[in-house]
Structure 1
């Protein structure tokens, strides 16, 4: 049915890797499920869909996705073999002539070559580059593309107002791409690619005439592949998704200086001692390679300022050394986790006078960095990020005080949603960390924006836009409607620059594509964009199912009460149900002079010896002395609800989490059906999209299971009524049985998609191996531990 089907293997594979290099599995008998008006009654279950996952997605291994990215080509086939231009469209379908004049920069020349490669590879359209001394003598035609800046094409650049803005105009003589500057040309060409990719053909409107101004001065992100993992393929994908900045060398000075880490005895300096030493040659290489994609490099400066003349001299020397070695670094992110005054931490709930003194001295150090940098290059951006300062709603005054102390030519980097207040069953709570359940901005952030505006300071923000620590082991969060609300809020509050989705980092995904479209004005409506994206991912016939599924997903995330980098949204799938103390898997220090709890913490191994597959903070482990109800304790910490000890928060937490899971399941019924009915050449991509959403759903359900099981275990230990204790054991058995089934499905998912479970702060939080170990423990609990307890 589809000509050259083998070349379309990529379309299904992009959910697994940029290149989608793994070929489709040999077709087996297709599983057919009825859909239509009775869809909900005849829905594709997660158990039956798992057969399709195993059939369509080849076995994967940890870090397989990263390997495929490194081995991939920059562009892949995006053309629908059946697509034809509408009456309102024209086609770039043969012998396209890409014309530009000789005096252009290397950035524009590389962008034109990239566009040529895109036409050939993604759209199967041949083209040739026409490098000219002038525009004279060009023959008109639909396949002629004129490319230049507003100085070279003044007729088309009159309305362009700033960097990255561009005009796309269809004229009788051809197609014009006019940029305000080199960056504008680059992003104009990228937008043509985005339009054709969304349309799945080399088709553009006959009446195309649009001018688009960038809404952001800078958009940056980390690499989702890991610390200093920046292959060209990631840089290219980021640039095509509108990023023009990267934050590299996190927690390490770009020149390799480790003075603070190796000489300070402060708590955070001891943590920094465990951070890798930077190789300056890697930074030089990265600056050069990123520049070819129009991307600027930002880096941290790591220093403990103590307030003495010697400390000031040391800071100034460090800054001068760095800017002398790296004159092309665009800016520096001065994050309190690494750039701090005197003693790190201890500012949550501290005396106001103490915090203000800290703010003044921290800002003084910011001013020193700013002064040294601007003495060499006034355009260098100094981004002051006071993340660790108490962000609860009641701390508005102190957060504003930090803005008041900053030097006028620094740029405040504000944390977007952390601390945002909300209500849960009449009780007040606040986001404990990065989360999507609330749109933002937080109350303190809103106040800081107002303070900065009053000082005529531009504002940058660390803001999640496609992934978050709420479900941080999922590569992106498929909640487009909720993301859209956040994008709109960013624009409404006038944020000028962003550091997006720290610390998940960027890897290609459709949410990041949606975000790209919202970063310039004059975009298509979000509804139109969602419809086109749904059709591209699942096929036009499945558009309505997918749109309805996304609405359910949006409803679900708004209900999730677990906010932040916790077990429940990041490792519940990998966390066992501990009924009794399990066998020790690593060394312990219970009877040693070593403090066992300290060894498990930040300055030790960070591993729980009973479940050492991830860092201790990601493991929910009971108090087997039965003095503390860890499930109730978890609900209090994860929600940020402030309530007296007499108030039981766990029931409220579980109620809302179950409501969220139910909404996810309603959406998944539609999502699975859409994937099962997707065209063969889109099937792999569609199935991989469902895998991500199913994994989110299972994380919610496992979160409930872990906490319900522990609540029962704890209460049974204190229950004197044998009948009630027996009923508790019965319920625990039911939870274990359900969790075994869920874990087996999770194992299928992670065995076929290596994106799942990874979060580069600690590599994999859970792996196929650790899930198999969990299953062994669950089976032992079910078949031995619980029966023995029942007597």
Structure 2
């Protein structure tokens, strides 16, 4: 740890001399305060916390209602009609729980037979669908719309339907949380229209892991659905699929899917599920598909929709995205669309309302494939709802070198050129709706983080989704959902009549860091948002996900797991199946930078893809530098936070620090590899000595950064985790990297110097 014994005293002296309002806090100075103040967490601690239910942010005891506000306090009640649906009742119970646990206010929950004369009901929050509240619901147009009105000391929450009233109650919780007290404006009268027919997410805890307290958070953040049982048919039926085999994908226990749909429904959460099938078009195969649809819908009539993702629902041969060529792709699309039509026909014969969502993710999405992707829209039956990938394939340019996003990312807002073409083509037809897989709070670009603090960039995506009239969204994939302030911001912008961005962010900043720090926090978030805009995309690889734990190899290491160099088994095939590199078996092999130890190929050049290494490194460093610009103010805001908020503020800063470290470690690994390759190819002693000096200095710098990354991961068990692979890095795997750095510095480089006669002369 980079903590000096006198760190606390030195920092206190520094703050006293320079003043927190003027001084710039370095990473080392911040760590000296933050790390000792935060408890150590074990891996999966976050999982337990979310399963039990995170405690709500407490009321600020210093807050008092303004003259233009009313206070919800002692003697108040929440009234919901006796015939209200279970989700609306649950929302009332959640509001009651929140007021007690966070605001210190106990309110009664009443269930009268009739809701009328709400204005004459003092100290009452009345929530119901518009039929029960004549006149109030006239402006409401569709499900999930709601109106909140304050009159005297009464509050009306009127929904277009029960689900709208439910979301209105959850919005009250959001308002109290932002205000840090149970206060509402006396003149509050807001009509909010839902911008999306559906907003679904995946679990951030694990495959099919949806505990009740976790489910209860989803409507608070504006979600109305979950996508679950990924890569497994809901009835556990095999997909007749050699790529996604029973050997690889676990089955859920008997009754688990039924239980989940029942529990989710209590909170107003619908369920979407995948449908997997290997379609070949033969009569027997077609009948098998029809039978699968009939069986699934008969067993699960509650499921709202089925996602037909090409990773599991495909024609003849599965393929990865890109490189198939126009002619073959179009032929494949036509046959795949026939399979989609069979599903839609069979499903709608049973239930006309069920949603069928074809998602052709694996059809190439590079910008030159726009016509092919649009062609898909001409082949799908109009009774389906296309699910489009929002940003993948979006082009961008760095110093005249052109590339495109190769996986989910937020460095580009989107939509991609291919998605724009699809949206235009879809509008020419009469689809039920058009949905999109669109990240809104986290992304695979930094897939080992629970959320990404780039609010201004995220807001640009929210605007783009609205401008392109996307009707529904799937808003997470590998990383899933974990409650966070960016997802809270997203919830506001999923309805109309949201606050102006800076107003909302200022209130979030005040809540998270305390009064007086808002300017620093907003400035930091602007810098972070600028940083991600210049970040060069790497695709679904090690750099932005595992760089703080990815090793720097000076020489090919000894194997740490079974190797197959001399047996009849093929090492490459075995490693491909296991996804493990036996020389570094801590993560899937694609999440480790692996040099070409024959020194024939530049692995760094292969990693940077579209860009030369110097251009890629330039923008990676620029992104890290802009993160540091923001961190200077972020650290200061956290150190000035009131004591009650300081630990949470420290965690916010450390998450941003880890993002910057990911960028700098990625830069260091590529630089080290360039120098290692140059060393292997050099025959000049002076040049080799200089390379060794530079590599030694780089390793020492990376050691300090990696030590900080380890200490941060020890204090935040969310870091390094994403449910598809559990932990990509833990403090223990970061320690393995540190051990290798020490071995390289203490043994490998000195041995190389001795072997090649390159030992430094002693002064």
> Are 1:633 and 2:614 counterparts?
no
2:586 is aligned to 613
1:560 aligns with 2:523: no
Q: Which runs of 5+ in 1 are unaligned?
A: 1-27, 642-648
Q: Which moved more, 1:369-378 or 1:171-180?
A: 171-180
C-alpha contact (below 8 Å) 1:101/1:133 kept by paired residues? yes
Question: Across the two proteins, how many residue pairs are aligned to each other?
Answer: 745
Query: In the alignment, which residue of structure 2 is the partner of 1:688?
Result: 651
2:207 and 2:229 in contact (8 A); partners too: yes
What secondary structure does 1:382 align onto?
strand
The answer to whether the aligner puts 1:365 opposite 2:339 as a matched pair is: yes
Deviation at 1:535, TM superposition (A): 0.5
The answer to whether the 8 A contact 2:450-2:718 is kept is yes
Q: Does the Cα contact within 8 Å between 2:53 and 2:214 map onto a contact in 1?
A: no
Tell me which residue corresponds to 1:120: 100
* 1:285 pairs with 2:285: no
User: In the alignment, which residue of structure 2 is the partner of 1:412?
Assistant: 386
Q: Which residue of 2 aligns with 1:355?
A: 329
TM-score, scaled relative to structure 1: 0.92
Match of 2:420 among 446, 454, 478: 446
Moved more, 372-381 or 157-166: 372-381
Quote the Cα distance in structure 2 between the aligned partners of 1:496 and 1:398. 22
Q: What is the correspondence of 1:289-308 to structure 2 with a 5 Å cutoff? A: 289-308=263-282
Task: Look up the match of 1:55.
Answer: 36
Go from structure 1 to structure 2 and tell me whether the alpha carbon gap of 1:156 and 1:40 turns closer, same or farther (over 3 Å shift). closer
Please tell me whether residue 69 in structure 1 is matched to residue 50 in structure 2: yes
Question: Does residue 599 of the first structure (1) align with residue 579 of the second (2)?
Answer: no
TM-score by length of 2: 0.95
Q: Corresponding residue for 1:570? A: 545
Q: What residue in structure 2 maps to residue 436 of structure 1?
A: 410
Partners of 2:52 and 2:174 in 1: how far apart? Answer: 23
- Distance in 1, Cα, partners of 2:593 & 2:403: 22
Shift of 1:238: 1.4
State which of 233, 244, 249 in structure 2 corresponds to 1:253.
Answer: 233
Q: Does residue 493 of structure 1 match 2:474?
A: no
How many Å separate the matches in 2 of 1:187 and 1:621?
49
Partner deviation per Cα, 1:320-351 (whole Å, 9 max, x = no partner): 11000000000000000000000111673334
The question of whether the paired residues in 2 share the 8 Å contact of 1:299 and 1:329 is answered with yes
Kept after mapping to 2: 8 A contact 1:626/1:714: yes
Q: Does structure 2 conserve the Cα–Cα contact (< 8 Å) formed by 1:347 and 1:355?
A: no
**Deviation digits for residues 243-287 of structure 1 (CA, Å, limit 9, x no counterpart):** 0010000000010111514xx4xxx245x6301123341111110
Instruction: After superposition, give the CA deviation of every residue in 1:492-530 in whole Å (9 maximum; x if it has no partner).
Output: 000000001212100111110010000000111111000
How far off is 1:765 after superposition? 0.8
Using the alignment, how far apart are the partners of 1:365 and 1:187 within structure 2?
37
Could you tell me how far 1:107 is from its partner in structure 2? Answer: 2.0
- The 8 Å contact of residues 91 and 142 in structure 1, kept in 2 or not, is answered as no
Q: Is the 8 A contact 1:92 1:142 kept in 2?
A: no
Task: Report the CA distance shift for 1:404/1:531 in structure 2 as closer, same or farther (over 3 A).
Answer: same
Match of 1:82 in 2: 62
2: distance between equivalents of 1:665 and 1:203?
Answer: 37
How many angstroms does 1:173 deviate by?
6.2
Structure 1 contact 143–174 (Cα < 8 Å) conserved: yes
1:424-573 aligned at under 5 Å gives the runs: 424-457=398-431, 458-573=433-548
- Cα deviation code 1:141-180 (max 9, x no counterpart): 6521222110000210000000000000112361111000
State the distance in 2 between where 1:347 and 1:129 align.
53
Whether the 8 Å contact between 1:747 and 1:768 is mirrored in structure 2 is: yes
- Residue 662, structure 1, aligned to residue 625, structure 2: yes
Q: Which runs of 5+ in 2 are unaligned?
A: 1-7, 755-763
The alpha carbon displacement at 1:760 in A equals 1.3
Q: Shift in Å at residue 389 of structure 1?
A: 0.7
Tell whether the 8 Å contact from 2:479 to 2:723 is kept in structure 1 after alignment. Answer: yes
Q: Which range moved further: 93-102 or 228-237?
A: 93-102
Match of 1:770 in 2: 733
**Structure 2: distance between partners of 1:168 and 1:504:** 34
Match of 1:97 in 2: 77
- Where 2:727 maps in the other structure, the secondary structure is coil
Relative contact order, CA 8 A, sep 6+: which one is greater? 1
After TM superposition, give the deviation of residue 31 of structure 1 in Å.
5.2
Q: 1:95 to 1:674 in 2, by over 3 A?
A: same
Q: Is the 8 A contact 2:722 2:728 kept in 1?
A: yes
Q: For residue 45 of structure 1, what is the aligned residue in structure 2?
A: 26
- The yes-or-no answer on 1:727 pairing with 2:690 is yes
DSSP-derived class of the 2:664 partner: helix
Does the CA contact (< 8 Å) of 2:115 and 2:133 recur in 1? Answer: no
- 1:239 maps to which of 219, 233, 236: 219
**Does structure 2 conserve the Cα–Cα contact (< 8 Å) formed by 1:179 and 1:188?**
yes
Please name the residue that 1:330 is paired with.
304
Instruction: Please list every run of at least 4 consecutive aligned residues from structure 1 whose deviation after the TM superposition is greater than 6 angstroms.
Output: 35-41
Aligned residues of 1:60 and 1:752 also touching (Cα < 8 A): yes
- Structure-2 separation of matches of 1:168 and 1:350: 53
Cα distance in 2, alignment partners of residues 41 and 158 from structure 1: 53
Residue 390 of structure 1 aligns with which residue?
Answer: 364
Which residue in the other structure is 1:8 paired with? none
Larger displacement relative to structure 2 (523-532 or 352-361): 352-361
- Residue 159 of structure 1, aligned match among 115, 139, 151: 139
Distance, in Å, in 1 between the alignment partners of 2:114 and 2:720 is 54
CA RMSD of aligned residues (A): 1.8
Determine if contact 2:315/2:335 at 8 Å carries over to the other structure.
Answer: yes
Question: Residue 503 of structure 1: SS of its match in structure 2?
Answer: coil
- The structure-2 alpha-carbon separation of the partners of 1:335 and 1:490, relative to structure 1 and needing over 3 Å to count, comes to same
Q: What's the offset of the Cα at 1:49?
A: 2.0
Distance 1:547 1:77 in 2: 21
Contact preservation (8 Å) 1:702, 1:739: yes
